[in-house]
Structure 1
Amino acid sequence: MLDTPQTQVPLLDMSRQADDPDGFAAALGQSFERFGFAMVSNHGVPDALVARAWAMTKAFFDLPEDEKRGYFLEGGGGARGYTPFKTEIAKGATHVDLKEFWHVGRELPAGHRFEQAMAPNVWPEHPEGFRQTFIELFAALDTAGSRLLSGIARHLGLAPDWFEHAVEDGNSVLRLLHYPPVPADAPEVRAGAHEDINLITLLLGAEEAGLELLEKDGRWLPVKPPEGAMVVNVGDMLQRLTNHVLPSTTHRVVNPAPERRGFSRYSMPYFLHPAPDFLIETLPGTISAANPNRYETPITAHDYLRERLVEIGLIKK
């Protein structure tokens, strides 16, 4: 693949995985090694469910500000429920992000061993059907994420089911994002340059453009999935686990062109996390003389997540 300004993140067909799992894994791994990103079609998340989720997302963010703020949990670090506009800031950024969001987590039964580490979900009264829609979407994205992790495992020379134990009852989060219209002279970007914390992120396409990744040569490359496709990117936990063989690439959401600044932007990233007690320890197969171990000391996923949430301003030390 030539590294020219026309280079694009490749679109991969996930339906290939059933008949040619090694071929799909190789293509996915190559895209991740090159960009830290991939785009996938035929990912198995039903179109009708996605359409219902978009409608629910827009309906929720159209609610009165006071009603939305009633679901903000002070001191909760944004783990569940509503987080107001201009709360989160990218690590090292000088301006807060121009967004508000809602978090849905995994539903755990009472008495589950992770109930102290994973907060219970908060569900709004309106719009009707919100809870059921996003429980279904969370499950569908969880399944798609497991398939992608199986491909990653194959690419790394691991057993295809290597990640299954790691992500069983994982602390994954579905984020519903609303970027309101922005003034023409706004100095901020909608979401500052950052890397994701988790293993991989699955992003259902937004109607309004703006997602860009930082190329190795310092150029920003737009990421524009075709309708119905999903963007997938490597997070910091997977980068650490793979000793940077799979890079967690800096990305951002830029303000739109002046003629589009009066329009909102919505997106629904699914941050796939391991279980809180999973030990992030460098995979032996990723260590070599040319790529020595960058992380001699392992860390649990829970402790790593907490460190990062402090850095982005969602929780206090």
Structure 2
Amino acid sequence: MPDVHPELHYQVGATPEGVEVPRCVVDPSCLETIEQQLPGHKATVPTGADPKWRFFWRLGPRPAQTNFAELNAEPVIPQGFPEWSEVMDDWGTKMLAAVSTVAEVVACGLGLPADAFTSRMQMGPHLLAPTGTDLGTYGALGSCYAGYHYDLNFLTIHGKSRFPGLAVWLQDGRRMPVSIPNGCLLIQAGKQIEWFTNGHVRAGMHEVVCTEATRAAVDRMAVEGRQLWRVSSTVFAHIASDVLLEPVGKFAQQGTESKYKPVLAGDFVQQELEAIRLKGTAPC
């Protein structure tokens, strides 16, 4: 608990279970979206805060000057882990490098300069975010570990979790369980790339729930005497806080009535954090 920092919107250090609230809990339009989803492909309706723990570790250099100091705070080092910084930086830097490569490929594929995104990612508040949920406590079929949501950042990357349960929605409305091959990483689009592309690239909707496959894995690992925490390793790659989010290149010429109005990335992130109860939340 000494590593929990609500005064920094939980953007460094630990976020306990029962803090982050899926948007659908507080946003009626999200519930309407679920209601309109295809039969057999509807999201689980979340009813409260997620039961996941998370640790946010700040990756890379911080800006010398910024209007968003709380989003660019010094990383938190928990006691009792002398190798913490080295291990987290080593793995997180590799994940962030993979995101940067993909960001360049995507920019070229969209007809933008190769550095259209990576130049705006420099000094961003990138976060390595190991995330865990105790399935020994929250192992009932249908339990919602991360309610139906999009990611507020630019691109998200993570590897295979210790238990299944992640599902994504395709643009045609189908819900698809995610299976990541060994040795591979998954990258999902966040809201910031949707902003830059005027909605051409949409932030991917997803959820993590306890499915039949999750239950089977829990039962198998329980018999084997193995740990029943669902652990995943994620990097949230961000656009720098003081950079303007707005449609760029050819996407800026697609009409003046775009809903993607110019906004500083830091202001956008704070608005999103407030919506999911990470900003303005009372200390645990």
Equivalent of residue 136 in structure 1, options 56, 75, 90? 90
Equivalent position of 1:266 in the other structure: 231
User: 2:182 aligned with 1:227, yes or no?
Assistant: yes
CA distance in 1, matches of 2:141, 2:164: 17
Equivalent of residue 161 in structure 2, options 189, 192, 206? 206
User: 2:86 aligned with 1:154, yes or no?
Assistant: no
Taking every aligned residue pair, what percent have the same amino acid on both sides?
Answer: 22
1:260-280 deviations in Å (ceiling 9; x for gaps): 346221111111101111111
The number of aligned residues is 247
- CA deviation after TM superposition for structure 1 residue 284, in Å: 4.1
1:18-65 deviations in Å (ceiling 9; x for gaps): xxxxxxxxxxxxxxxxxxxxxxxxxxxxxxxxxxxxxxxxxxxxxxxx
Equivalent position of 2:43 in the other structure: none
Normalised TM-score (structure 1): 0.72
Contact 2:6 2:278 (C-alpha < 8 Å) held by counterparts = no
User: 2:16 aligned with 1:84, yes or no?
Assistant: yes
CA distance in 2, matches of 1:216, 1:108: 36
- Write the mapping of 1:57-206 to structure 2, written as runs, cut at 5 A: 69-93=1-25, 94-108=47-61, 112-114=64-66, 116=69, 117-181=71-135, 182-185=137-140, 188-206=143-161
User: 2:229 aligned with 1:276, yes or no?
Assistant: no
Amino acid at match of 1:268: S
Structure 1 residues 300 and 231, CA gap change in structure 2 (3 angstroms): same
Structure 2 alignment gaps of length 5 or more:
26-46, 223-227
CA distance in 2, matches of 1:127, 1:105: 16
Structure 1 residues 166 and 183, CA gap change in structure 2 (3 angstroms): closer
User: Runs ≥4 in structure 1, deviation > 6 angstroms?
Assistant: none
Contact 1:282 1:293 (C-alpha < 8 Å) held by counterparts = no
Contact 1:89 1:95 (C-alpha < 8 Å) held by counterparts = yes
Contact 2:157 2:186 (C-alpha < 8 Å) held by counterparts = yes
- CA deviation after TM superposition for structure 1 residue 107, in Å: 4.8
Matched residue SS, 1:75: helix
User: 2:171 aligned with 1:239, yes or no?
Assistant: no
Matched residue SS, 1:201: strand
Contact 1:201 1:235 (C-alpha < 8 Å) held by counterparts = yes
CA distance in 1, matches of 2:171, 2:117: 28
**Whose relative contact order is higher, 1 or 2, with alpha carbons under 8 Å and at least 6 apart?**
2
Question: What RMSD, in angstroms, separates the aligned Cα atoms of the two structures?
Answer: 2.2
CA distance in 2, matches of 1:164, 1:145: 9
Normalised TM-score (structure 2): 0.80
User: 2:259 aligned with 1:295, yes or no?
Assistant: yes
User: 2:276 aligned with 1:312, yes or no?
Assistant: yes
CA distance in 2, matches of 1:134, 1:209: 24
